[in-house]
Structure 1
Amino acid sequence: MNDLSGKTALVVGASRGLGRGIALATAAAGASVIALSRSATTFPEPGGAGSIQAVVADAADSSVPGSLLDRYDPQLLVLVAGATPLIRPLQHHTWETFSANWNTDVRIAFHWLREALLRPLRPGSTVVVVSSGAALAGSPLSGGYAGAKATQRFISGYAQEEADRAGLGITFTAVLPRITPLTDLGRPAVRAYAARNGQSEEEYVRQLGEPLSPESAGAAVLELARADTAGVAPGYLLTGAGLQQLA
């Protein structure tokens, strides 16, 4: 997939934040992008040969992945969608708020990767599961979010094992973005963790290094999509400085 012209990419969770940045970057690189979100979304016309088609559907609905994979036959599948965690300490969560990301994010990864294997996607396809850096560092103010994101990474690894066992030629990888103030998801978390640490938001962000932007997330996914599949690792931490392979 060194050349994305003529390729189809399906970005699940493309309406905002990192997902939107990934959809725009992939279209700018020449792909025909199917941008899936739960609500109607508009996108600017991409330059070059690429295009973006907005599709409204619930990514967590078990009937959606098979239907859309059959309809669009993507060579690049990127899963970004998930629930926004409620930011509060453990004792202020209910089980329903604590488990929200298990019931949404993990569910999405399970259904989409299952269908990618069952269909299966064509040989040479790449599947990118956007998890979170919280899967490595924990996230004490967001309930079960960190555990759910770690499980997404595990599911990606399981899918790769099954693809290899069946000789499908599909590459699965997990990308774990570091917390960032540049998205609607990250901004309230940055504010809450800064307050918890007795820091200003500026101090907290400064210690994280260069903030991760939607544009840099798009560039990172393009790097993976264009790479020789044999060189794509099972997982990466993603920061403002780019991808860092995980051990």
Structure 2
Amino acid sequence: MNLNSKNVVVTGGSRGLGLGLVEALVAQGAKVTVVARGADALESVRTRLGVATIPADVTDETAAHRILGEVRPDILVLNAGAQPRMARLDQVSWADFTVAWDTDVKAGLYWLQAALNLPLKPGSRVLTVSSGAAVNGSPLSGGYAGAKRMLWTMARYANGVSEKKNLGIGFQAIVPQQMVLGTGVGDAGANAYAHVAGITPEEFVVRFGAPMPPRQFGDMVVSLLEDPQFADAVAFGIKGAGISVLEGAAA
């Protein structure tokens, strides 16, 4: 897929990995709309990159339908999510345990439903950003790992609905497989696990191998979108060392 002049909506695109993706998309000539809650961060990305911005709560069901109906993106990237509350299983409250379910999964459900029910046009692609915790767990972040696995599973479910309704929309999960400092979720996770190990966060993230700053993450997602070999698989792992297919296309 050539991204030049494609309409792209990125939720949570005003900071962290989402911002790195927005930068990479703009560099390829895509027409990007960033959706986020923070007005100051949205204004900063709009001024610096010339993107369109829409302030909204991604867990607002009506906002999902309204924004997709107005923009009609060729590509939708669901990147927005809550920072997990870091605590050991025997110490975490139910409210903290379910933070990622109440935000990440709830928003995922509403935006996937909007994409399927509008529907987006044939050939559109929807990417849900999951986490390596979906594969390996994350014992200090409550229900975060399960929520991120659910986003991956929901992408598979959405493909089944798209096929049943003959919509021609592809749904895929992006699974960053390392923590990235300088991002809210990455900093929270690295700080917590480094503290337990008695090392610095910088020493902890080295364990993942080659670093993956946000812009590199964005460039790899762009290459995934542009390369035909990645058009049909359901889930991809992304880390500094490159892209891997975690779940192929349904038979």
Counterpart in 1 of 2:137? 138
Counterpart in 2 of 1:215? 215
195-204 vs 130-139, which moves further = 195-204
Deviation at 1:211, TM superposition (A): 2.1
CA displacement, residues 100-123 of structure 1 (integer Å, 9 cap, x when unaligned): 111110001101011101111111
Letter in 1 for 2:201: E
Counterpart in 2 of 1:174? 173
Letter in 1 for 2:52: Q
The DSSP-based 3-state class of the residue aligned with 1:63 is helix
Deviation at 1:235, TM superposition (A): 0.4
CA displacement, residues 39-62 of structure 1 (integer Å, 9 cap, x when unaligned): 11222544xxxx411210001111
The DSSP-based 3-state class of the residue aligned with 2:57 is coil
The DSSP-based 3-state class of the residue aligned with 1:244 is strand
* Contact 1:182-1:212 at 8 Å conserved across structures: no
1:116 equivalenced with 2:118 (yes/no): no
Separation of aligned partners in 1, 2:213 and 2:182: 6
Change (3 A) 1:124 1:21: same
For structure 2, the 5+ residue unaligned runs are: none
Separation of aligned partners in 1, 2:201 and 2:218: 25
For structure 1, the 5+ residue unaligned runs are: none
1:38 equivalenced with 2:37 (yes/no): yes
Separation of aligned partners in 1, 2:51 and 2:200: 39
Separation of aligned partners in 1, 2:48 and 2:200: 38
1:225 equivalenced with 2:225 (yes/no): yes
The DSSP-based 3-state class of the residue aligned with 1:185 is helix
* Contact 1:181-1:211 at 8 Å conserved across structures: no
* Contact 2:225-2:231 at 8 Å conserved across structures: no
Identity of aligned residues (%): 39
Change (3 A) 1:6 1:231: closer
Counterpart in 2 of 1:160? 159
Separation of aligned partners in 1, 2:209 and 2:182: 13
Counterpart in 1 of 2:188? 188
Separation of aligned partners in 2, 1:133 and 1:189: 12
113-122 vs 230-239, which moves further = 230-239
The DSSP-based 3-state class of the residue aligned with 1:90 is coil
CA displacement, residues 120-147 of structure 1 (integer Å, 9 cap, x when unaligned): 1111111110011100010111110000
Deviation at 1:197, TM superposition (A): 2.5
**With structure 1 as the length reference, what TM-score do the two structures score?**
0.93
Separation of aligned partners in 2, 1:80 and 1:100: 15
Moved over 4 A (4+): none
Counterpart in 1 of 2:57? 58
The DSSP-based 3-state class of the residue aligned with 1:246 is strand
